[in-house]
Structure 1
């Protein structure tokens, strides 16, 4: 399962978009700011989400995350980690079972707590991209993936790996 730090990887601003020679898509409008991604990365990410192999990780609040059209319309993930690990969404809604789990285990809402919970209910193997921003925040065993220039190729490779 890929933990994808969307704030520090696949999304870029309008100024960066204007310098690119690849087709891009507008995937977020928030407070007058626009975020884009390449069409190729969008298609690859959508395929990973469809087979439930990616969990977006972001600093965004629930309301901010709802403005990210990519994950609301095109590729709705089963899980999403918001506010740097304070909120876990399941199918777009706050996971009540996780909130009960936190109370039962007397745990604070953190990235580590979320991963422990997910390991209990579903996931056993973690990859984190980009490693430079996520690995320092993860206390669970994981494989860090270094930043790559062509993220769509990375997403395609992971799609094929997860399918086997």
Structure 2
């Protein structure tokens, strides 16, 4: 678990969490290995109940057979389907042997499961733990600010309070 804490603690926005909250987040990690060429997510499949953070390797984001993005260490994928409840809009495939941290859908968690403290170095003392708190304070910006494909534009993603 120490390796998870060290890695996540060096990645924004997780680097804003105190050690107690980093430990709680690390307990949620499931590690998955994907050999090069493995399809991790298929566009149009059932909505996802989890999202991933790339630990090592690279994954390709594919739109109708064309690679449109290459994600590396610390980058997140799968969050759009998780947050929208819609099928994933794009395929994701391991470009090389890749190790990913898998996290459950934040809305499926409860404060008791997360066991997060009620504060971070940047949150007010009255912050409420749980899924909304987790997304607001722990989730990478791509998760906090994700909008499903075709969704109308919304307000800009709020900046974290410092």
Instruction: Return the TM-score normalized by structure 1.
Output: 0.31
Q: Which has the higher helix share?
A: 1
Instruction: Return the TM-score normalized by structure 2.
Output: 0.31
